Amino acid sequence: MLPLLKGYPQCPEHGENLKLFSKPDGKLICFQCKDARLSVGQSKDFLQISDAVRFFMKELTIHQGQLEATLKKLQSLKNTQKDAIAAYKDISSFLDSLEQGTKVLMPRELISRKLNPGLYKGPIQYMMWREMQFSLSPGLSSLTLDPKTAHPNLMLSKNRTSVWHGDIKQVMPDDPERFDSSVAVLGSKGFTSGKWYWEVEVAKKTKWTVGVVRESIIRKGSCSLTPEQGFWLLRLRNQTDLKALDLPSCSLKLTNNLNKVGIYLDYEGGQVSFYNAKTMTHIYTFTSTFMEKLYPYFCPCLNDGGENKEPLHIIHPQ
């Protein structure tokens, strides 16, 4: 038996110094313990304490490196997320626009003790919006429809702000820009930069499709109405079946009456968003990278014998 050494813990079973580390047991053992375990294990399962320390220091170093790499990646993701959040708030420009709007609303006749009830005791929020709308950016865009793109069955109002499906197919020049299968029409103005917002009245309609498309979309015949083909669209069918035509399409729940749809385009930000224009409740957002001119898209769909006769109407600022 080896002489006992000071400073070494002793085996409670054999009374020897614990000078070995057993990897299967994960603890210190003596040489007699090793001899007893060799029948079921291998010699490589037992290490001198100094060797065990080096082995586990190496393991700890590897895990430390992995943890540091993970931490670095998480920090990078955190910074990316922070940058992404900052890119979507535009809070500085919004506050500047509010400040400009506030200057427009400086007290005028408010000094008078006798206030005009119709002017000051009425729809104050609506009045404020009317005063501020020219200071806000983006404001409501004054869009019109492009008759050269309209399907021959579509009827446009004289001011080109409303479109509906007619029963009679009109004789029209087969311009390259004109749709010949989809009963659709584009806005007369395209966008290659900036932020734009417009509203479309869809009340009393059972089905419609609105949104934004690339200039180069297929207009002759049919194709998939997906972002990959240059379409970023919101679609209603059967009065309640609302979908974003993403890939795959996304079914959406109608929580309120959707009489007006707000459409927001941020060209540089790669964003097309849809809102319930009455409450400004968010409906759906597409994200993409835009490389060419984009146009507003309007499809009133078939009138279905009068059940869907109401027009799509572009709301203009008063």
Mean pLDDT lowest among 116-120, 205-209, 306-310: 116-120
Q: Mind listing the pLDDT tens digit for each residue in 241-270?
A: 999 999 999 999 887 789 999 898 989 989
Percent of the chain residues past pLDDT 90, beyond the cut? 42
Using the predicted structure, report yes or no on whether residue 68 has a pLDDT greater than 60. yes
Q: Is residue 31 within 8 Å of 16, Cβ to Cβ? A: yes
**For the segment 185-197, what is each residue's pLDDT rounded down to a tens digit?**
999 999 999 888 8
Residue scoring higher pLDDT (123 or 75): 75
Alpha helices in the chain (DSSP H): 31-37, 49-87, 91-104, 117-120, 124-132
Considering the four listed CATH numbers 3.40.640.10, 3.40.50.300, 3.30.110.40, 2.60.120.920, the one that applies to the domain covering 118-133+142-315 is 2.60.120.920
| Mean local confidence (pLDDT), 146-158 | 96
Residues 278, 299: Cα–Cα separation, whole Å: 21
Region(s) of the chain under CATH 2.60.120.920: 118-133+142-315
Condensed to tens digits (0 to 9), the pLDDT of residues 87-122 reads 667 566 666 776 776 655 555 444 445 554 554 444
8-105: CATH number: 3.30.160.60
Domain with CATH 3.30.160.60 in the chain: 8-105
